[in-house]
Structure 1
Amino acid sequence: MVILDVAPITAGHALVIPRLHEHSLSILWRDLSEKLEQVVSAVVTTLNNETGKAAIICEHGLGSEAKGHAGCVEHAHLHIIPFDYPLLSAFSHAGINFTQTDNLLDITKIPPTQQYLYLRDTDGLQYLAVQEKFPSQLVRRLVATQLGELYWSWRDYLDFSDKIGTKQRIIEGMKLFAHLNQNPVFMDDL
């Protein structure tokens, strides 16, 4: 399913969420890859048409035996964020080393005790970073920093510290999602 992020970093910030409960997409990828790619492609195309922006696609996931949970949410979800700036260099400055990948099935090979970050940058290239643990909400923090935003934690948005800005992003996102919901790809379950 595709939903609007409750605390969007940009207007149209969406989450793609499978109905099957797992901690990360690495566990579900073999079964859902074709459908997931269809949904992601449709969301990115629609958001690009509506906003004129490229998008970054990312997941902070776990290997099958990693302890704890990735980020803050214990259910697999993929972020799609309308964004015009490449994010790979921001990750490098944060000390995160990515390896370029051409095949998303590589996430199924993540060592079971490790966490990973998946990034499809604005240029469409795909990257994986694997280590024992990543900082929580790292992607949100890096995107907010690039935009000059003070607030990046979804908790800050839920406190509505910036009520007007948050409200505006949610309203803009809802308008974008009105178009998304007309696409039959979104009516199917993942």
Structure 2
Amino acid sequence: MRYADIMPLRRGHALVIPKVHCSRISELPSEYAAAVGEVVSKVANALTKDNSGLNVVCNQEYAQAVPHVHYHIIPAPILNASPPAPSTSGPLSHRRMHQAEFEKRDELDDEDAEALVKGIRAHL
């Protein structure tokens, strides 16, 4: 796995990981599934205070890089904040827009990361 594959997709990208080990969501015991669902909802609520759009993703086998059930909660991009470079061939397709966003990911420095975590925790 490359380092770029494990970087957050965008600011606020969070993971919810159950303590019980299951490689497939279809094997997750119902009491853990219920608890994880509650946590996903709480984290999603905390992340949507400034931007209501988000994706919640849990892969099973297909596109699953880590064989342990986990949920990605990914805030949607704020498209007007920093649009990708203009294209001379007209509007960007959704695929190209997502690719451009993927390419401009960067790491948070420690101070920004701490401030982000404090902000999310304040909304939990």
CA distance in 1, matches of 2:33, 2:107: 34
TM-score, normalised via structure 1 length: 0.44
- Which amino acid in the other structure matches residue 57 of structure 1? V
| CA 150–35 in structure 1, closer or farther in 2 if over 3 Å, else same | closer
Report Cα offsets for 1:54-109 as digits up to 9, x if no partner.
Answer: 111011114xxxxxx85211211111000159xxxxxxxxxxxxxxxxxxxxxxxx
Report Cα offsets for 1:118-144 as digits up to 9, x if no partner.
Answer: xxxxxxxxxxxxxxxxxxxxxxxx888
Report Cα offsets for 1:110-163 as digits up to 9, x if no partner.
Answer: xxxxxxxxxxxxxxxxxxxxxxxxxxxxxxxx8885262353xxxxxxxxxx7x
Name structure 1 gaps, 5 residues minimum.
Answer: 1-5, 63-68, 86-141, 152-161, 186-190
Task: Kindly indicate which of the two structures has a greater share of residues assigned to strand.
Answer: 1
Higher relative contact order (CA 8 A, sep 6+): 2
CA distance in 2, matches of 1:24, 1:170: 33
| CA 48–28 in structure 1, closer or farther in 2 if over 3 Å, else same | same
Name structure 2 gaps, 5 residues minimum.
Answer: 1-5, 79-93
- Which amino acid in the other structure matches residue 77 of structure 1? H
CA distance in 2, matches of 1:20, 1:34: 13
Task: Report the aligned-residue RMSD.
Answer: 3.3
Equivalent position of 2:51 in the other structure: 52
Equivalent position of 1:127 in the other structure: none
Q: State the Cα distance separating 1:32 from its structure 2 match.
A: 1.6
| CA 171–10 in structure 1, closer or farther in 2 if over 3 Å, else same | farther
* 8 Å contact from structure 1 (residues 12, 174) kept in 2: no
Q: State the Cα distance separating 1:27 from its structure 2 match.
A: 1.1
Determine which of 78, 86, 93 is the counterpart of 2:71: 78
CA distance in 2, matches of 1:173, 1:143: 28
| CA 149–180 in structure 1, closer or farther in 2 if over 3 Å, else same | closer
CA distance in 1, matches of 2:41, 2:117: 15
Q: State the Cα distance separating 1:36 from its structure 2 match.
A: 1.4
Determine which of 141, 149, 153 is the counterpart of 2:101: 149
TM-score, normalised via structure 2 length: 0.64
- Which amino acid in the other structure matches residue 79 of structure 1? H
